[in-house]
Amino acid sequence: MFKKIILLATMLVMNASLAMAAEKTLMVVHDATWPPMEFIDANRQIVGYSVDYIDAIAQETGIKVTHKNVAWSGIFAELAAKRCDVIASSITITPERAKIMDFSTPYYTVQQAVVTRNDVTYTTADELKDKLLGAQISTTGYFAAKNLVGDQAKSYDAIGHAIEDLKNGRLDAVICDDPVAADFALQGAGNKDALKISFVMETGEIEHYGFAVRKGDTETLELLNAGIKAVKDKGIEAQLIKKWIGK
């Protein structure tokens, strides 16, 4: 009899947890200027790898999510002010960021790529040390540019603006995450004939993207991590990579 009572109590707790998860709605923000990871499509919808990944997590865990576009310059403040629950915006997990927010287990890995005009070729980072470099502000691409040229590195609110300056000859190179570089340099309108990826920087470290939550928000973090595990285990992640990133 006692065992039956314990079993019943356990089942009630599990059912209550599932019900709470089903009722939970997370506000997820993206800086939707970073194709193919998160961007605005022709129908003015927020789409991309990170967006689909969060939707897949929601499907697997039974939660609901809403998506919102927020400029990169204010995206971390949005989380701190509790105007959102999750940032899903190709955020590299770094020790500095981990001090002020918590991260899920990684959901993608990247390296920094150097985009140049087609008529220019660089093969090493040393060749960039006297060049005009651009990147999106407060990204690891910008940190890499600053490491090479110091305060002469030019920052942009959106990576697309840096790409335009590169095409127009106002920069020698742009540094950004390799899937984004491939999207802009190889697929962007008017870019294919003008731009190329000269090389991928060999820093010795592969960067890992994570979904960010407020420091100490263990409930949301556990939901995300459970969802990521399911998305990986069921092969959904591989399908999303094929859909958005290909090779």
Q: What is the pTM of this model?
A: 0.80
Give CA–CA dist 74/89, Å, rounded: 12
Question: Residue 2 has what pLDDT?
Answer: 43
Confidence of residue 204 (pLDDT cuts 50, 70, 90): low
CA nearest to 238, candidates 56, 4, 5, 62: 56
Same fold, 2-108+208-244 and 112-200: yes
Is 206:109 a contact under the CB 8 Å cutoff? yes
112-200 architecture in CATH?
3-Layer(aba) Sandwich (3.40)
Give CA–CA dist 65/76, Å, rounded: 18
Fold of 2-108+208-244: D-Maltodextrin-Binding Protein; domain 2 (3.40.190)
Question: pLDDT per residue over 212-229, tens digit each?
Answer: 999 999 999 999 999 999
Confidence of residue 154 (pLDDT cuts 50, 70, 90): very high
Output the DSSP codes for the chain: -HHHHHHHHHHHHHHHHHHHHHH-EEEEEE--EETTTEEE-TTS-EESHHHHHHHHHHHHHT-EEEEEE--HHHHHHHHHTTS-SEEEEEEEP-HHHHTTEEE-S--EEE-EEEEEETT----SGGGGTTS-EEEETTSHHHHHHHHHHGGGPEEESSHHHHHHHHHTTS-SEEEEEHHHHHHHHHHSTTTTTTEEEEEE---S--EEEEEEEETT-HHHHHHHHHHHHHHHHTTHHHHHHHHHT--
Tokens read off for 51: 């967006």
When the pLDDT of each residue in the chain is averaged and rounded to a whole number, the result is 89
| All structural domains of the chain with their residue ranges | 2-108+208-244, 112-200
Question: pLDDT per residue over 96-124, tens digit each?
Answer: 999 999 999 999 999 999 999 999 989 99
